[in-house]
Structure 1
Amino acid sequence: MINKELQEQNEKVASKDDFPINWIDRVSLFLSHTIKYLIPVIVIVMMYEIFMRYVLFKPTLWANELCLWLAGVCYLVGGIYATRLRSHIRIVLLYDWVERPTQRIFDLISTIIIVVFAAAVIYGGWEDAYRSFTTWERFATYWDPPIPATMKPLTLLCVFLIALQSVNNLIIDWRNPKEKQYDPSKELK
């Protein structure tokens, strides 16, 4: 009984050492675990719209746009979480075939590409995002929500956080002698 408890504690300690949680991970986890509550809100709003449209024959003017707005936020923040989970696209046929030193080179190259891409997106989108936010640009519909004013800056912020999380993952994974698969269920314990 005691040996089993000690073994479970050792497994927990080992799993935390494999993927230590630093401030970058905490920001990613906070955002993703907070934003996930928008998904039930989207479902409730869509159910309301279906009821109003097909039962009462009084469709809303705002439900579709609100759902698009919230789903866009979930999509952007989901990119940060997917990066943290290391569930991004990778050509595993080649990656799994090579030795760990070559895998590290592949990881370095992909991280450099992500950082350069993020820098280009932020550089190219900064002026438009700033203008949209400071003028509180709206969606130009009847409901007229400030979707551009919020989504353009959020896009830049999420791209920056994805690049930051990618660098963080590279640093953590670089130290491991073998690439380890991340188990998100361990966060819940």
Structure 2
Amino acid sequence: MAKQKPGGLREWVIPVAFAICAGWVIWHGPAYILDFFPHENESMTAQITELHERKDVSSGMSGLFGGTMDFIDWAALLLLPVLLVVGMRSVVHAQMEYADYTRFDYFALFIGRVVMLLIIIMTLVMLYEVFLRYVIEAPTKWANELTLWIAGFVFLLSGLYAMQQRCHIRIFILYDILPRPLRHACDIISVALICLFAFLLVFGSYNQVFGIKFHRWEMFGTAFDPPIPATIQPMILIVVVLVALQSVANLIADWNKQPAEMEEPDIIDEEELEAIKKSVGAK
């Protein structure tokens, strides 16, 4: 069977669909809170309900199963894991990416594709705002904050992809001169410290982040009023845990590799190089 090339239509469509469903679920967070995590405090419930009614895109639709979530809310939520699994199966390894990967790595690879898409969306939003501001002289109230919001997700999720790719900053001055057993000991200590940091961060801030910021669906308090505190802070804890798990997976995958195998040479993506040449008219 011929080897699939990266960048195919399927690798674009599925991350786009995943981002749309994730965006819908995030924006309609109050509906999910009212149905899955209801408040005992009536005033807080009324506040979340008012917020949902003010932000609901599909306000004309009635809730299903006697709850607040309508058909689109349920569809977006149920499609997320489906698109995640399909997206992980559709990932095609690019030439410039880390060569050795396991089944566990497909999650980070797919998230990396979603991050690349988010960067494009963020750039388009910025260009749209520049056009409106300086050409039409009618700036929006939402573009700057939406860019900030997306950038937060890009910054966090790209950290998971960087960990899987082993492209984070590492200093090998002392590590390279150590014998193999001591290198393994250093690897174990490094991963243990990452996991300890993740545990302490989640343990110390879980109630503050999920019990207050998320459960109360704290907004940004501006004209556009996106739920940046309610989404970015929980995402920090989630990504830190994912990075810790990825570091453990990397340790297991790299345990029996020789030092030379772990030093990835600079790889030139010939297909991308040819595409760049064609775009500039070079031969």
| Counterparts of 1:106 and 1:61, CA distance in 2 | 50
Say yes or no: does 1:177 pair with 2:238: no
| Partner of residue 239, structure 2 | 158
What TM-score results when the alignment is normalised by the length of structure 1? Answer: 0.82
Would you say how many aligned residue pairs link Structure 1 and Structure 2? 169
Q: Secondary structure at the match of 1:37?
A: helix
- Cα deviation per residue 1:113-171 (whole Å; 9 max; x = unaligned)? 10000111111221122121121110111110011111111111100000000011111
Say yes or no: does 1:69 pair with 2:149: yes
The correspondence of residues 28-107 of structure 1 with structure 2, limited to 5 A, is 28-107=108-187
- Cα deviation per residue 1:87-113 (whole Å; 9 max; x = unaligned)? 222221112222322221111111111
In the TM superposition, residue 21 of structure 1 has moved relative to its aligned partner by: 1.0
In the TM superposition, residue 183 of structure 1 has moved relative to its aligned partner by: 7.3
| Counterparts of 1:118 and 1:157, CA distance in 2 | 9
What TM-score results when the alignment is normalised by the length of structure 2? Answer: 0.56
Determine which of 224, 231, 237 is the counterpart of 1:143: 224
1:118/1:184 CA distance change after superposition, 3 Å: farther
1:134 partner amino acid: H
| Counterparts of 2:219 and 2:120, CA distance in 1 | 25
Moved more, 95-104 or 164-173: 95-104
RMSD: 2.1
| Counterparts of 1:167 and 1:66, CA distance in 2 | 34
Q: Which runs of 5+ in 2 are unaligned?
A: 1-98, 268-283
1:35 partner amino acid: V
| Counterparts of 1:184 and 1:38, CA distance in 2 | 26
| Counterparts of 1:184 and 1:40, CA distance in 2 | 25
C-alpha contact (below 8 Å) 1:85/1:182 kept by paired residues? no
1:50 partner amino acid: V
Larger Rg: 2
| Partner of residue 199, structure 2 | 119
Q: Which runs of 5+ in 1 are unaligned?
A: 1-17
- Cα deviation per residue 1:25-83 (whole Å; 9 max; x = unaligned)? 12211212122201111111101111111111111111111001101101101110111
Structure number with higher relative contact order (C-alpha < 8 Å, ≥ 6 residues apart): 1
| Counterparts of 1:43 and 1:49, CA distance in 2 | 10
| Counterparts of 1:41 and 1:85, CA distance in 2 | 23
| Counterparts of 2:196 and 2:169, CA distance in 1 | 17
| Counterparts of 2:234 and 2:135, CA distance in 1 | 38
2:165 partner amino acid: L
| Partner of residue 12, structure 1 | none
1:140 partner amino acid: G
C-alpha contact (below 8 Å) 1:85/1:184 kept by paired residues? no
2:110 partner amino acid: F
Q: Secondary structure at the match of 2:124?
A: helix
1:99/1:163 CA distance change after superposition, 3 Å: same
* Structure ranking higher in helix proportion: 1
Percent identity (aligned):
43
Q: Secondary structure at the match of 2:174?
A: helix
1:57/1:143 CA distance change after superposition, 3 Å: same
